[in-house]
Chain A
Amino acid sequence: MSSIAVKKGFASTVWEYLTTVDHKKIAHLYLGAGGFFFLLGGIEAMFIRIQLMKPQNNFVNEQLFNEIMTMHGTTMIFLAAMPLLFAFMNAVVPLQIGARDVAFPFLNALGFWLFFWGGIFLNLSWFLGGAPDAGWTSYASLSLRSEGHGIDFYTLGIQISGFGTLMSGINFLATIITMRAPGMSFMRMPLFTWTTFIASSLILMAFPPLTISIFFLMFDRLFGSAFFDVTMGGNTIIWEHFFWIFGHPEVYILILPAFGIFSEIIPTFSRKRLFGYSSMVFATILIGFLGFMVWAHHMFTTGLGNVANAIFAVATMAIAVPTGIKIFNWLFTMWGGSIKISVPMLYALGFIPSFVMGGVTGVMQAAAPLDYQLHDTYFIVAHFHYVIIGGVVFAILAATHFYWPKMFGKMLSEKLGYVTFAFFFVGFHMTFFVQHFLGLMGMPRRVATFLPNQGFDLYNFISSMGAFFMAIGVIVLLVNVVVTSLKKERVGNDPWQDGRTMEWALSSPPVYYNFKQIPLVRGQDTWWIEKMEGKDELTPSEPLQDIHMPNNSIIPFFIALGLFIAAFGAMYNPLNSVGDGHPMGTVVLILGLALMFGSMLVRSIRDDLGYYIPKEDIENDAKGGKVS
């Protein structure tokens, strides 16, 4: 690889991205793929709201509605929100801790390609006989009965992309533990790095239960086992436990990095250090810990008994305390600051009241007897969209504006950003606020339609109109991205002027080895400290020397592709419960696994020691042109 900037052809750019192990390029891949799935999930959401615009609508039929609704949830959680957060983690965390890459660059690429092929596999269900239709929770009694291969696409697709997530989580843990620059103690780490760290440890502990339960479901459907078949002595409640032991930490896997993003944005645009840094850190840890103690609040009506319901009710309420601490810390970060309302800050300001509303309805649901009424109604739909859109999606949109210059070297249009925010924010509250009342008025969730004369008509109509506002907001964002990409104007190191953490000390985008010399960290908000002392670059902790870098590799792509092919084989194996199995299925299964293990073997027996960038080249870069 040359360090001299050359105009590359399309094919070589594609090859570069297929083989890259650079965390910044992998961030681009996550952003692109996650963004694509976000749009897909958004289109599904629009279908849902159009269908529910009026009573007894026939825009889509009942079966198709269930498929759309299932895929909307599954896509948004597994294929949009998480990958988009991974995009920013990849783009920013190594820079924030002063590292040249993540601990395992090869694994990082493998994680992305597994997620990618898993997502593609899941969505191919639309063209191959129907999508999964049992909700993103895929409760066992219903998912075992589901006709066609929809649920098999769900189990296999989620399994593959889940492996990718697990690997990425482990990678970030290793990176943050081992790759911090000298002086970057844990209690000096930026909050986004902290929340990535805690979210990754949640991934490490929450994904195995999902893997196991999906493995069981897959074997029940494809290979004739009976883990969840009641007539054969199986138990469906086990699925619920497994799923929510994963599923509840999952929402914290999403929201903690979102908290991290806002904990970066709010101090930056308030020109003030984060208020109560250490309590923020401990609140994050506490939320992560309590997140594992509360899964059964999704099952208050399952019939676990009074004692279980009582314990989980109180445990759930407890989570409100650390979350409240965070909200007040953000408010008091702004207090006494100098607030500039740029687009990222605007999202942060939209986030605070929206998320508080989602949080308080969460506490209401924690009151178990009240939840008997709220559970599985539109109240729940309203609640989790308030926390996931008001929290996670706002954070993703904020981070898109905030980190775009660092990732691509160009500034997204602020003007169009305000337009997007206005439509999205108003549309969001319009869509979901009224849904609280629909739930209280007796409308169950996941209904393909509703009958007239039940008092649901008006609010559903308002809700659907709100969805159109949100769609307009997203379209404006897309326009913004296209317009910005066509712009020539490039930005400097610290485009927001008030950057506090180390990524803002580097060029935008940073050179592929990130740091000419690994920096010395002299305190929290490293770059702010240097700036305040009048310096314009970080203090180095090492002399200028040759830099060791990993080689690019196509192997991760093929490992993931092998698993993707094997999944098709598994689905059409002769034992599958749908009954359309074929002996060729077994052959394809073996061929796919052979490709996967073969690729791994090649990786294992071929020594790939990377390469060194000579000192002279680095000096040359520093003097001469910027390198992307």
Chain B
Amino acid sequence: MKKWCLFLSLLIVALILTACGEPFLSTMKPAGEVAEKQFDLLLLSTGIMVLVVVVVVIIYLIVLIRFRRKRVGEDKIPKQIEGSHKLEFIWTVIPIVLLLILAVPTLLQTFELGNVSGKEKVDKDGNRENLVVNVRANLYWWEFEYPDLGIVTSQDLVVPTDERVYFNLIASDVKHSFWVPAAGGKMDTNTDNENYFYLQFDSEKADEAGNLFYGKCAELCGPSHAYMDFKVKAVPRSEFDEWVKAMQNFEETEPTTAVAQQGKEIFENSCIGCHAVTPDNSTPANARIAPNLADFGNRTTVAGILPYTKENIKKWIQNPGDIKPGNLMYDSENFSDEELDALAEYLMSLKAQN
């Protein structure tokens, strides 16, 4: 029995050593200052806790070896000991000391990571120094608005590396939670009020992760909770600026092919009531009831989860309810294959940059 346990625990240790998760997703591959601080706290607390476990296990094993009835004799009545003030004092004080060691960095980090005053910092012209993004969580999609830049996008969050990005978080239907594990802990998007926090993406780590981090919804929000993913494109500042410029100067290009032209017509008859195809934030948030599709041609995924292919786009348009049950678009539609082709081609042509 015990040998089995030992074997099993060795196997488990081996498993731990070989896998710490993926660089684009794992909290154990921290990709920015916030995640790093949290990872340090993980290491510190794990260290303290392993120490505690080791002490307990040592006493436990000694007890089990020395005081078995077989060893001490079948009829022996042990001495009935009431307790020991000295021992009890020791195992009250040592844990307190250990907890204090953990409590100090915990408190420091709580205030450090919760300090969002940088959000309000302005330069001498009155412009904000740091990038601020409004995150709005919806039944099963994410909207990212850059209030100072006048841009709205959805599903793919684009951020510059090596600087703090501040987030204002809110949900428009039920509570969700905004989480980019590799970059830092989560923050809930409440329906009642805005929450604030910041993240930072390290350029080197972003390179390792292919400049694309996975984001997740961490709060149960309905049947498609598991599918409420988003992606974070972390790019150098210069690239980010180019993207911003392209988005700000976004002009709807006329479709180049006849098929795309047909798609545009269908779109304008069926979809435009909910989906915008320009990235400006002139409409108020509560009127933006569906994901903004302006830069759809550069999306990394379809609906946040499927590989970006024409087939998947068609599948989504026809039967979104199969892919994300409970979504608010519709369960299924009756587009002909030709219409689906046209729509997909049109959507894939929507690009701010090439």
Contact = CB atoms under 8 A, between A and B. Distances in A.
Interface string A343-384: 000000100110011001101101111111101110000000
A473 interface: no
B223 A448 contact: yes
Contacts of B5: 426
A61 interface: yes
B82 A339 contact: no
Contacts of B77: 271, 338, 532
A455 B22 contact: yes
Interface in B34-88: 35, 37-38, 41-42, 45-46, 48-49, 52-53, 56-57, 59-60, 62-64, 67-69, 72-73, 76-84, 87-88
With most chain A CB atoms within 10 A of its CB, the pick from B28, B185, B229 is B185
B49 A338 contact: no
B68 A236 contact: no
A13 interface: no
Contact of B78 (A142, A338, A364, A451): A338
A543 interface: no
Interface string A269-288: 01111011111000000000
A2 interface: no
B78 A441 contact: no
Contacts of A434: 12, 15
Nearest to B174: A141
Nearest to B42: A370
A62 interface: yes
**Main SS at interface, chain B:** mixed
B261 interface: no
B173 interface: yes
Contacts of B68: 338-341
A447 B225 contact: yes
A442 interface: yes
Interface string A480-504: 0000000000000000000000000
B45 A62 contact: no
Given A321-B96, A442-B21, A301 B187 contact: yes
A272 B81 contact: yes
A94 to B, nearest CB: 26
B52 A360 contact: yes
B78 A270 contact: yes
Interface string B223-246: 111100100000000000000000
B92 A321 contact: yes
Interface string A134-172: 110001011001000000000000000000000000000
A51 B21 CA distance: 22
B234 to A, nearest CB: 16
B184 A142 contact: no
Contacts of B28: 440-441
Contacts of B63: 331, 334-335, 339
A277 B83 contact: yes
Interface stretch (B108-116, B124-132, B249-257, B267-275): B108-116
Nearest to B306: A451
B150 interface: no
B232 to A, nearest CB: 13
A338 B226 CA distance: 52
A367 B81 contact: no
Contacts of B35: 373
A309 B8 contact: no
B153 interface: no
A313 interface: yes
Contacts of A325: 88, 91-92
B15 A370 contact: no
A224 interface: no
Given A363-B102, A364-B42, A373-B42, A339 B113 contact: no
Contact of A441 (B25, B175, B179, B219): B25
Contact of B99 (A230, A337, A363, A532): A363
B173 A145 contact: yes
Interface string A315-345: 0011011001101110110111111110000
A236 B225 contact: no
B230 to A, nearest CB: 13
A251 interface: no
A207 B186 CA distance: 30
Contacts of B287: none
A145 B174 contact: yes
B298 interface: no
B20 interface: yes
A260 B80 CA distance: 19
Interface stretch (B189-197, B276-284, B289-297, B311-319): B189-197
A620 interface: no
Interface string B4-38: 11001000100110011110011110000001011
B326 A444 contact: no
A604 interface: no
Interface stretch (B157-165, B210-218, B334-342, B343-351): B210-218
**Main SS at interface, chain A:** helix
Given A442-B21, A444-B217, A332 B87 contact: yes
A454 B79 contact: no
Contacts of A377: 218
A578 interface: no
B114 A430 contact: no
B95 A321 contact: yes
B219 A376 contact: yes
Contacts of B110: 306, 309-310, 313, 368-369
Nearest to A302: B188
B106 interface: yes
Nearest to A422: B1
A181 to B, nearest CB: 22
A25 interface: no
Contacts of B226: 62, 444, 447-450
Contacts of A278: 83
A433 B16 CA distance: 11
A444 B216 contact: yes
A273 B81 contact: yes
Given A276-B83, A301-B186, A62 B326 contact: yes
Interface of B: 1, 4-5, 8, 12, 15-16, 19-22, 25-28, 35, 37-38, 41-42, 45-46, 48-49, 52-53, 56-57, 59-60, 62-64, 67-69, 72-73, 76-84, 87-88, 91-92, 95-96, 99, 102-103, 105-107, 109-115, 171, 173-175, 177, 179, 181-182, 184-188, 190-193, 195-196, 214, 216-226, 229, 305, 325-326
12 contacts: A139-B220, A279-B88, A310-B110, A321-B95, A331-B56, A360-B53, A364-B46, A376-B218, A444-B179, A450-B226, A455-B25, A459-B15
List the 7 shortest-distance A-B pairs measured between CB atoms, nearest first: A372-B185, A441-B21, A360-B49, A447-B226, A303-B195, A276-B83, A442-B181
Interface of A: 61-63, 65-66, 133-135, 139, 141-142, 145, 230, 235-237, 270-273, 275-279, 301-303, 305-306, 309-310, 313-314, 317-318, 320-321, 324-325, 327-329, 331-332, 334-341, 349, 352-353, 356-357, 360-361, 363-364, 366-373, 375-377, 422, 426, 429-430, 433-434, 437, 440-442, 444, 446-451, 454-455, 458-459, 532
Given A142-B174, A318-B99, A375-B185, 16 more contacts: A62-B223, A63-B325, A236-B191, A237-B190, A301-B187, A324-B91, A331-B56, A332-B87, A338-B69, A339-B64, A341-B68, A367-B41, A368-B106, A442-B27, A444-B226, A458-B15
